[in-house]
């Protein structure tokens, strides 16, 4: 920390991960960090350095990706067993779990999925499944699907990566012979209305069971 105090001045994003090696559970803290200069010995300056890092964060508890195999009468896993279980690879999606559910149509083996926000493309249903498999905590639900002719589908849907924030997304798919061959995702990261816009806009009516779902209407797919 003290060898990298300049980092928060450049990028305030910060995160900490606490692991319980005996159970495989983790707690992920993510938020922002700000470097503050203060008189030596002031509150929070335990090291007497005249500086401290103030952080704001939100906790995200994570259950282990495995099922406990010991019984109440048996011994708990050792620390090494817990660490091994935490690092076990997540079973990969077959490429038909989330994206095909979102679209409501199967994926062609050669399908391409584009993310313009990151300048990325994933080619092939197998690789799409491998990417999906890295987000086991993600929950989602479709708000509505719009079918344009026979070769285009537009989907409005909501997801939560597990940190409680609702992303509002739009996915467009081009079809060939009833299968998706090219998909483009536009992800709507949650944000708040800046003060200057409030007099100009009204609040959107978003019932939790409508097009834009709330947490109670999301599930694992």
pLDDT in tens, 74-86: 444 444 444 444 4
Q: Of 61, 68, 44, 51, nearest to 6 (Cα)?
A: 51
pLDDT in tens, 97-142: 699 999 999 999 999 999 999 999 999 999 999 999 899 999 999 9
Residue 72 — very low, low, confident or very high, per pLDDT cuts 50/70/90? very low
Instruction: Tell me what pLDDT residue 180 has.
Output: 96
219 DSSP assignment:
B
The proportion of the chain whose per-residue pLDDT surpasses 90, expressed as a percent, equals: 53
pTM (predicted TM-score): 0.57
Burial status of residue 17 (CB atoms within 10 A of its CB: 0-12, 13-18, 19 or more): exposed
Residue 4 — very low, low, confident or very high, per pLDDT cuts 50/70/90? low
**Could you tell me which CATH number the domain at 98-217 has?**
3.10.450.50
Instruction: Tell me what pLDDT residue 8 has.
Output: 66
**What is d(CA 140, CA 205) in angstroms, rounded to the nearest whole number?**
20
Instruction: Tell me what pLDDT residue 57 has.
Output: 59
Instruction: Tell me what pLDDT residue 70 has.
Output: 35
Residue 105's contacts (CB-CB under 8 Å, 6 or more residues apart) are 153, 173, 175, 178, 179, 180
The proportion of the chain whose per-residue pLDDT surpasses 70, expressed as a percent, equals: 64
pLDDT in tens, 141-177: 999 999 998 899 999 999 999 999 999 999 999 999 9
Domain boundaries, the chain: 2-86, 98-217
């Amino acid at each position: 920390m003290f060898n990298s105090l300049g980092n928060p001045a450049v990028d305030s994003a910060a995160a900490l991960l606490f692991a319980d090696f005996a159970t495989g559970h983790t707690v992920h803290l993510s938020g922002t960090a700000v470097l503050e200069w203060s008189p030596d010995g002031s509150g929070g300056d335990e090291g007497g350095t005249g500086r401290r890092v103030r952080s704001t964060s939100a906790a995200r508890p994570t259950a282990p990706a495995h099922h406990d195999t010991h019984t109440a009468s048996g011994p708990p896993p050792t620390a090494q067993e817990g660490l091994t279980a935490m690092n076990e690879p997540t079973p990969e999606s077959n490429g038909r779990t989330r994206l095909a559910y979102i679209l409501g149509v199967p994926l062609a083996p050669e399908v391409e999925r584009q993310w313009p926000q990151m300048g990325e493309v994933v080619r092939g249903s197998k690789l799409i499944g491998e990417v999906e498999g890295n987000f086991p905590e993600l929950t989602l639900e479709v708000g509505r699907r719009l079918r344009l002719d026979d070769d285009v589908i537009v989907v409005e849907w909501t997801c939560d990566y597990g940190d409680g924030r609702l992303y509002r997304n739009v996915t467009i798919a081009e079809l060939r012979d009833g299968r998706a061959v090219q998909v483009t995702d536009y992800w709507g990261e949650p944000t708040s209305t800046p003060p200057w816009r409030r007099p100009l806009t009204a609040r959107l009516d978003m019932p939790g069971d409508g097009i834009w779902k709330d947490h109670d209407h999301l599930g694992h797919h």
